[in-house]
Amino acid sequence: MLVHNFSIISLILAILVILILEGDKRMCGIVGYIGFKNELDVKDVLLSGLSKLEYRGYDSAGICIYNEGIHIFKDAGRVEHLKTLVDDSITANLGIGHTRWATHGKPSKRNSHPHQSLSTRFTVVHNGVIENEIELREKYLSNYPFVSETDTEVIVALIEKFVMEGTEPTIAIRQVMGLIKGSYAIGIIDSETPDKFYAAKNKSPLLIGLGNNFNMIGSDAMSIIKYTNKFIEIYDQEFIVLAADKVSIYSILGNQIERNYYVETLDAADTEKGVYPHYMLKEIDEQPFALRRLISEYFTDTDYNIDADITDTLRNTDRIYIIAAGTSMHAGLVGKQFFEQIANIPTEVHISSEFIYNTPLINDNPLFIFLSQSGETADSRAVLVKIKELGFKSLTITNAKGSTLSREADYTLLIHAGVEIAVASTKAYTSQIAVMAILATKEAEIDATVIKKDLSLIANVIEGITDNKTIFKELADQYLTKRSCFYIGRHIDYFVAVEAALKLKEISYIQTEGFAAGELKHGTIALIEEGTPVIAIISQENINLNTRSNIKEVKSRGASTIIISLKSLSSATDQIVIDDVSPILSPIVTIVPTQLLAYYAALSRGLDIDKPRNLAKSVTVE
Ligand code: M6R
């Protein structure tokens, strides 16, 4: 292997600096609205938008509306709780709203956004973290009577300070943007100019939504798609002035910027649960459609449809480095098999948050592939920033068009899975794997019709699984009643086992581990007791007998076992038998029963399936 000519130590140090500068960011959510009188009721717009942002995880919510003065409603707790606090009798056409995930100060009414300046003239909502908050407090606000424990309050305090010193408000806001180190997406109301409101962004996501007789901001398209499908991207360090009939974008220096809107294809209905009790179940069921959509995007009738720049880059790469977290990293483990076994390209998979410590020797012509459903994962972004500095090529495979990882990488491949709202990722996992399979087979010059047919068959087989859910509910009720559980598998099934384990533990809170079946006897088997569920996945002929031996081993020590197998490898007692698919692509199918088992285990425990405790959909904290 050729080692690139740079010092690993300096790489590690440089990444460390980036990580420190990047700091601790969590994914709060923001919505803002201004319209002409009698357009939409701002309360409905804000509350509906905040509900759409709930999937990101939050612990408090609040809104501020303007009607002859500022009215703030906020508290710790859910948006549903916030709705009960809002005074219905106030109508308004200007407002900003926020869901908060506590970073500075515990979840409480006092720490919830919006926050106000001392005179109450300025009101702000903020997503992100101000890393030099203490420095700013000491330098500019030493005697300021802060009300909350948040870093956010510094923003309004500083704006007001500069305005009181004679600075025009828009200049004061840009001045504050220049002083803040860290990440922010902010919405600001100046109660002296209620015909407009302001927004700004750096590193935290924020979009402008254009309406007829109103304009909006939202942390993502989903939060405001109900009202408009015309969006304008906001780039880092830009300052926005929104009025009911006009939106102006400025650089931090005050230079006006022209930018066209784009039409978002997301359907408002995609963000609804419809007939489903949970988004997770809906998204599990959507996997066949997602795969079919993927097929239509990535193939013509008889050929592949992938940007030649990407395939050329892949052809010239001597090693792929897959960087990802959580479920996406598990998809990466499967992708590695495709790139190595099908495309013959050496491939490494790295947990993005570990890349800094376990930085490998890097080849001459690496391609870094960032796998990320949301495209916003901070751990992955930190690696992207670094490898860009080093001049390496990057490809992001994501579900989120226009996301940070997509914008900042050289190339993007979308997985077209449709909005994934449940925190537990399901359809994004299978679609990520499918995209990597398509890339690898294209690189290996395998006839497009072959892989197309394989993926179409897989879509049908998944449909067969999701059409018969009763078995999964019964198995979950019968077996997944203990404190712990194990998934085991060998070869590619092992990678499915680790993802299956993550799915079960994150939503049912059953302590679950995914193990290489052969490794169990080297220690972990000591944990098997009477009734411990052990679930085995068997999709490869060469491991069938060995995995079955491992099942016997745990069974004889009291385990209650479930076997998920492909039909041609199945035995009469296997509880879940799946129609045969191409073995190397089997993870796209074998994961589905495990998603359903996790769903029903959580359901029977009465848990919050779509929003499991302590988790957020987009993890923008390092
Ligand atoms: O958006 P990303 O794919 O980058 O997110 C990475 C992980 O946080 C994510 O895959 C997480 O593990 C899943 N939501 C778990 O189901």
**pLDDT surpasses 50 at 2:** no
- Ligand 1: centre distance to CA 38 (Å): 41
Collapsed DSSP state (helix, strand, coil) of residue 437: helix
DSSP 210-229: E-SSEEEEESSHHHHTTT-S
- Ligand 1: centre distance to CA 516 (Å): 22
- Ligand 1: centre distance to CA 332 (Å): 12
For the chain, the average pLDDT equals 92
DSSP 515-559: EEGGGGGGTGGGG--TT-EEEEEE--HHHHHHHHHHHHHHHTTT-
**pLDDT surpasses 60 at 14:** no
Mutate which of 55, 373, 509, 610 for ligand 1? The one with the most ligand atoms within 8 Å of its CB, which is 373
Dist CA 366 CA 68 (whole Å): 59
Residue of 490, 521, 518, 515 lying closest to 502 (CA atoms): 515
Dump strand ranges (E) for 258-392.
262-263, 319-324, 347-351, 366-372
Candidate list 43, 196, 452, 617, residue with the active-site label: 617
- Ligand 1: centre distance to CA 69 (Å): 41
* DSSP state for residue 276 in the 8-state scheme: -
- Ligand 1: centre distance to CA 193 (Å): 41
The amino acid at 122: F
**C-alpha distances out from residue 425 to 24, 86, 221, 618, Å:** 23, 33, 19, 11
Candidate list 25, 28, 64, 505, residue with the active-site label: 28
Dist CA 429 CA 416 (whole Å): 12
372 lines ligand 1 (CB under 6 A): yes
Taking only the tens place, the pLDDT of each residue in 366-423 is: 999 999 999 989 899 999 999 999 999 999 999 998 888 998 999 999 999 999 999 9
Q: How many Å from the N-terminal Cα to the C-terminal Cα in the chain?
A: 31
| Residue 25, pLDDT score | 39
Q: What Rg do the C-alpha atoms of the chain give, in angstroms?
A: 26
Residue 617 annotated as catalytic: yes
352 lines ligand 1 (CB under 6 A): no
* DSSP state for residue 401 in the 8-state scheme: T
- Which residue's C-alpha comes closest to atom 4 of ligand 1? 372
| Residue 402, pLDDT score | 80
Please enumerate in sequence order all residues whose Cβ is within 8 A of that of 518, keeping only pairs 6 or more positions apart, or say none: 490, 546, 550
Residue 201 annotated as catalytic: no
| Residue 619, pLDDT score | 72
| Residue 404, pLDDT score | 87
327 lines ligand 1 (CB under 6 A): yes
* DSSP state for residue 5 in the 8-state scheme: S
- Which residue's C-alpha comes closest to atom 15 of ligand 1? 424
Question: pLDDT-derived band of residue 57, with 50, 70 and 90 as boundaries?
Answer: confident
**C-alpha distances out from residue 429 to 143, 332, 361, 561, 586, Å:** 51, 9, 28, 25, 13
| Residue 19, pLDDT score | 35
Exposed, middle or buried, 242 (CB in 10 Å: 0-12/13-18/19+)?
A: buried
Choose the weakest-confidence range: 54-63, 292-301, 308-317, 483-492: 54-63
**C-alpha distances out from residue 78 to 41, 85, 87, 424, 611, Å:** 21, 11, 17, 19, 11
| Residue 15, pLDDT score | 38
Q: Considering the entire predicted model, what is its pTM? A: 0.79
Q: Counting atoms of ligand 1 from 1, which one is nearest the CA of 423?
A: 14
Question: pLDDT-derived band of residue 21, with 50, 70 and 90 as boundaries?
Answer: very low
Q: Which two tokens stand for residue 205?
A: 């996501």
